[in-house]
Structure 1
Amino acid sequence: MGTLEGHLLPGMGFLLYSLYYSVLTSLALLREQKALEHPMLPRKLWGHRQVSYEALVKVLIPTFATICEFFYPLGVNRLQMIDWKDPRRPFIFKDNWEHITMFGFFILSGVVDMVSQARPAHRSVKLECAFEALTFYVLVLLMATHIENKSSMEIRVHLLLMLPSFLLAVVITVETWLPSHPPIWVLKSWLGLVFSNWMFQICEMYVPPTGQPWRSDSPTDHAFLTVFFCWYMALSAALFVAIYGLCSLWHSRYSSWEKTSGPRYQRCRVESGCEELERLKAEALLQDGVV
């Protein structure tokens, strides 16, 4: 949907996912983990199968967005792809079907995650990363045709969106072979924040806060759009640093709480010539079979 709602929904979904991944990355760095640990849903909801929150979000949000592409606003039906009444048999609802294809690959990535995580003994993290990378490659490919027949301003803003999309695809491809590499986690988190935040810039173009719409025939507006993209990159980096700082505070507070609430052990002061010590040594030797 080429509307405010059509960009706001995926923007919110990507932002939630990026914030979630940034928190996981921050906690993994603070705990010096060798791999990211994705929280799983309670087993009572899925029986003996394990399903992560990440996989569930990948399926639910794109599914809802796909339904909206077909039937929003109410009374609209975009299920038809070809106009059979026209002798030329043209494709119709091009933009909607491009969005639906993008959402479909995200759903596919979530399903692959669920199938892989359902069998912990045979889980393939590389397969999960490979399908996630494929999703972003498809996103870039479809975006290349999605900008056709649009104004120069819309083309510029979507081209700038393609940059973090392609870099995310490359980073996730590298993560497929280097899953335990913290710099890759940080870079993926930052690019995800850039991508999701720039989606909100697209929403701002539909409802500008200044009340003055962006002008496609203005070189100044085109230049400022690129400047804003650079600002969004810096803003996303600052947001990740803030998330890391909050996680650091929580981690230090949680660690100190564990130390104070846990059992305390004190070394027993025993003299070297104590009879009790000699008796314990003798019992230990007997138990080991030493004469």
Structure 2
Amino acid sequence: MGSFEGHLLSGSGLLLYSIYYSSLMSLALLQKQRMPKHLLLPRKMLGCRLFFPVSYEAVVKVVIPAFAILCEYYYPLGVNHLMMIDWKDPRRLFVFKDTWQHVTMFGFFILSGIAGIVSQAKQASWSVKLERTGEALAFYVVALLMIAHIENKSVLEIRVHLLFVLPAFLLALILTVEIWVPDNAPLWVLKSWMGLVLSTWMLQICEMYIPFTGQPWRADNPTDLAFVTIFFCWHLVLGVTLLIAIYGLCSLWHHHYSSWTKTLGARYQRCLMESSSEELEKLNAEAVAQDGGV
């Protein structure tokens, strides 16, 4: 959906996912984990028992893009963009180019979610590689289609979408490296940062549809074009700020949880008794004497 609602849905979903992954990454760094651990769905849901572990992340990758595809075809209510070729026209023209580009992007994210579900079910040595390959492929497709998406657009739209391609392509490169080096902490941080930048920039595009100043952006104004690039640089800083804030909150939770578990452990420590201790020998002697006297 090349509209305010479409960019808002995509940007909000991507932002929530980026915050979720940044939280997992922060906890993995604090707990010195080899890799971030997925949060798994309960094994019993809606009266049905799951046959294998499934993460929230994989389900979100399938459900949200599937909903977005339905919106692409049938939103606003009453429209139908499911047709790809106008068969009534003798020239057999392709129609709804933007819709099919968006559907293709969402479709690859669904494939990424399916790859995640399969990798979590198998738990084999190649599982992580399959999951990272699916994610990298999805972002390569985003970058490729966004480059094609700017054809016959205004200068402003071209600038905005090229700046969107940059973090998407960097994310794809990072995920490609993670196929072979999944346990590299700096890559986790870079991936979280680029994900936050990509999502906040998508929300910035929403602002261009409904400007907070009340005045529309002008594609023929060099000043407006310059400020688009300036705002993108600010989004780079905003991504770092959000990442630091998420890490700080996770650090507070981790220290609070660690101190709580230590307090519990100290409160319920078992009394360790060694067989060689003098007190244990004295108690045993007294018990034997009492048994002999009965």
Q: TM-score, normalised by structure 2?
A: 0.90
How far residue 93 of structure 1 moved from its aligned partner, in angstroms, is: 0.3
Counterpart check, 1:227 vs 2:230: yes
Mapped to 2, the partners of 1:273 and 1:112 lie a distance apart of 58
Counterpart check, 1:258 vs 2:258: no
Q: 1:18-57 CA distances to partner (integer Å, 9 max, x unpaired)?
A: 0000000000000011111101101112522111000000
Partners of 1:147 and 1:154 within 8 A in 2: yes
Mapped to 2, the partners of 1:229 and 1:135 lie a distance apart of 23
Q: Which moved more, 1:253-262 or 1:199-208?
A: 253-262
Opposite residue 68 of structure 1, the aligned amino acid is C
Counterpart check, 1:134 vs 2:115: no
Q: Following superposition of structure 1 onto structure 2, how do residues 1-291 of structure 1 map, counting pairs within 5 Å?
A: 1-45=1-45, 46-121=49-124, 124-262=127-265, 263-265=267-269, 274=278, 276=280
Opposite residue 26 of structure 1, the aligned amino acid is S
Mapped to 2, the partners of 1:115 and 1:269 lie a distance apart of 49
Partners of 1:116 and 1:122 within 8 A in 2: no
Q: Which moved more, 1:164-173 or 1:122-131?
A: 122-131
Opposite residue 28 of structure 1, the aligned amino acid is A
Mapped to 2, the partners of 1:17 and 1:202 lie a distance apart of 18
- In structure 2, do the counterparts of structure 1 residues 112 and 273 end up closer, same or farther at CA, with 3 Å as the change threshold? closer
Counterpart of 2:289 in structure 1 is none
Paired residues in the alignment total 279
- Could you tell me the percent identity over the aligned residues? 63
How far residue 183 of structure 1 moved from its aligned partner, in angstroms, is: 0.6
- In structure 2, do the counterparts of structure 1 residues 123 and 278 end up closer, same or farther at CA, with 3 Å as the change threshold? farther
Partners of 2:273 and 2:280 within 8 A in 1: no
Mapped to 1, the partners of 2:262 and 2:32 lie a distance apart of 19
Partners of 2:29 and 2:185 within 8 A in 1: yes
Divergent runs of 4+, >6 A: 266-270
How far residue 242 of structure 1 moved from its aligned partner, in angstroms, is: 0.3
> CA RMSD for the aligned pairs?
2.0
Identify unmatched segments of 5+ residues in structure 2: 285-294
Opposite residue 70 of structure 1, the aligned amino acid is Y
Identify unmatched segments of 5+ residues in structure 1: 281-291
Mapped to 2, the partners of 1:37 and 1:2 lie a distance apart of 35
- In structure 2, do the counterparts of structure 1 residues 97 and 268 end up closer, same or farther at CA, with 3 Å as the change threshold? closer
How far residue 264 of structure 1 moved from its aligned partner, in angstroms, is: 4.6
How far residue 119 of structure 1 moved from its aligned partner, in angstroms, is: 2.5
Mapped to 1, the partners of 2:132 and 2:175 lie a distance apart of 6
Opposite residue 170 of structure 1, the aligned amino acid is L
Partners of 1:117 and 1:123 within 8 A in 2: no
How far residue 115 of structure 1 moved from its aligned partner, in angstroms, is: 1.8
Opposite residue 238 of structure 2, the aligned amino acid is L
Opposite residue 85 of structure 1, the aligned amino acid is K
How far residue 122 of structure 1 moved from its aligned partner, in angstroms, is: 6.5
Give secondary structure in 1 for the equivalent of 2:92.
coil
Mapped to 2, the partners of 1:275 and 1:53 lie a distance apart of 54
How far residue 130 of structure 1 moved from its aligned partner, in angstroms, is: 0.6
Give secondary structure in 2 for the equivalent of 1:131.
helix
How far residue 192 of structure 1 moved from its aligned partner, in angstroms, is: 0.1
Q: TM-score, normalised by structure 1?
A: 0.91
Mapped to 1, the partners of 2:171 and 2:3 lie a distance apart of 25
Opposite residue 13 of structure 2, the aligned amino acid is G
Mapped to 2, the partners of 1:165 and 1:148 lie a distance apart of 18
Q: 1:264-288 CA distances to partner (integer Å, 9 max, x unpaired)?
A: 5488799x983746999xxxxxxxx
Opposite residue 252 of structure 1, the aligned amino acid is H
